[in-house]
Each structure stands twice: as structure tokens, then as C-alpha cells.
Copies of this chain bind each other. A is one copy, B any other.
Amino acid sequence: MTGARMSKGDATRQRLLDAAQRSILEKGFTATSIDELIAECGLTKGGFFYHFKDKNDLAKALLRRYIAEDEEVYDRIFSQARDLVDDPLQVFLLGLKLLADVMGDMPNGHPGCMVAVSTYYERMFDRELRDINTEAALQWRRRFRAILDEIGTRYRPREPVDLDELADLVSSVLEGGIVMAKALHDPVSLKRQILTFRAMVQALFVRIPEG
């Protein structure tokens, strides 16, 4: 990616993935034609099928790449949060704040989540792609769950909640926030949704007395 030495073929592959991602998030998978992609990237049919054996293969590569970049963003944000504060609850709250900022700084709003798109095209894809999708969701759960476990050592929830479900709720708010921001035509909405959720997290946990 960023300046990494890559062959001409790799560069073309990346350009195809970029074009595909933009178009798919805008119009959907089936509405994105191969003809359209190769026109944008300045190559021909043969060139495309040299890189991907079929359209499903493209979707697979795209989803993998998307998830990898997504994970990178989360890693960066939460390691940054850990550097700045110690208390696990404060780490989580700061992480949500930083995440909200990232989402809010996107000029046209979040472009959409490939995982969400894939769930709505489930039946069109092969098993492997569906598994990639499920794994991404589980990865999110593990990530947030880990932080929640740390929080649990020093705080207790005012109301009983299962931590796996609370972890999933973070993902739900993000996915749902993206949908709502698009539906409302209000790019900043996603940021506010995250911050409102953050306030609710803050209200949920109460410090356990030391000892």
C-alpha cells in the first residue's frame, strides 16, 4: 500500500479493488459491472480475469482487504487510547471518542461497511466468503470483549449485562449508525451516535470500591 514496493500487477490489482469498493458501496455488488471497473482502470476484460478468476473472487479479495484495513484502524485507535490513560473504562471511553472523531472527519461520511453489504448479498456468495464475514464479526466481538473484561475488574454494571452481547452492541451501533447516517443524509450523525452510546457506557458502569 503506502509506498511499499509493488509490482505493476499488484498496483493494477489494487486499483481494481479501489474502484470496485467505491462502486459496490455506492450501488451494490451486482450493479457493479466488470466493464465499468475496467473502463475506470484503463484495462480490458482479459486483464481483469487475469487478476481475479471471477466476480466472487473479486468480492473475496475486497472483503479481506477491507477487514484488514478496518482492524488496523481499531488497533491504532485503541493502542493510542491505552497510551493516554490507564483506567480500562477510560481507555474504552477515550477509544470511542477517538473513533467518533475519525468517523466525523470523513468529509462525505463513512462510505459504508463491506461486511454489512455482504450480509445482504449472502445467498449470492460462496461459503468461503460467508465465513470470512462471520469471522470479521467474531473478531470485533473479541476485541471489544477484551476491553470489557478489563473494565469488569474495576467496575460493575448497574444493570446485568452479558459482556459478549455488550461487545456485539458496539458493532451494532457502528453498523446501524452507518445505515442511519446514509438514510438521514447526515454524515455527522454517525459520530453523534457513537458519542451518545459512549455516554450510555459511562452511565452503565460504576466503580467497585477498592479492597
Contacts and interface: CB of A to CB of B under 8 A. Distances in A.
A19 interface: no
Secondary structure at the A interface, as helix, strand, loop or mixed, is helix
Contacts of A26: 122-123
B124 A31 contact: yes
A77 interface: no
A169 B183 contact: no
Assembly stoichiometry (copies): 2
Contacts of A175: 175-176, 179-180
Contacts of A104: none
Most chain B CB atoms below 10 A, which of A113, A169, A195: A169
Contacts of A117: 120
Contact of A183 (B134, B192, B200, B204): B134
A90 interface: no
A126 interface: no
Interface of A: 25-31, 112-113, 115-124, 130, 133-134, 136-138, 157-162, 165-166, 168-169, 171-177, 179-180, 182-185, 189, 192-193, 195-197, 199-204
5 contacts: A27-B123, A27-B124, A120-B182, A169-B193, A169-B196
Given A172-B180, A175-B175, 8 more contacts: A29-B30, A115-B179, A158-B203, A161-B200, A165-B192, A168-B184, A168-B192, A169-B200
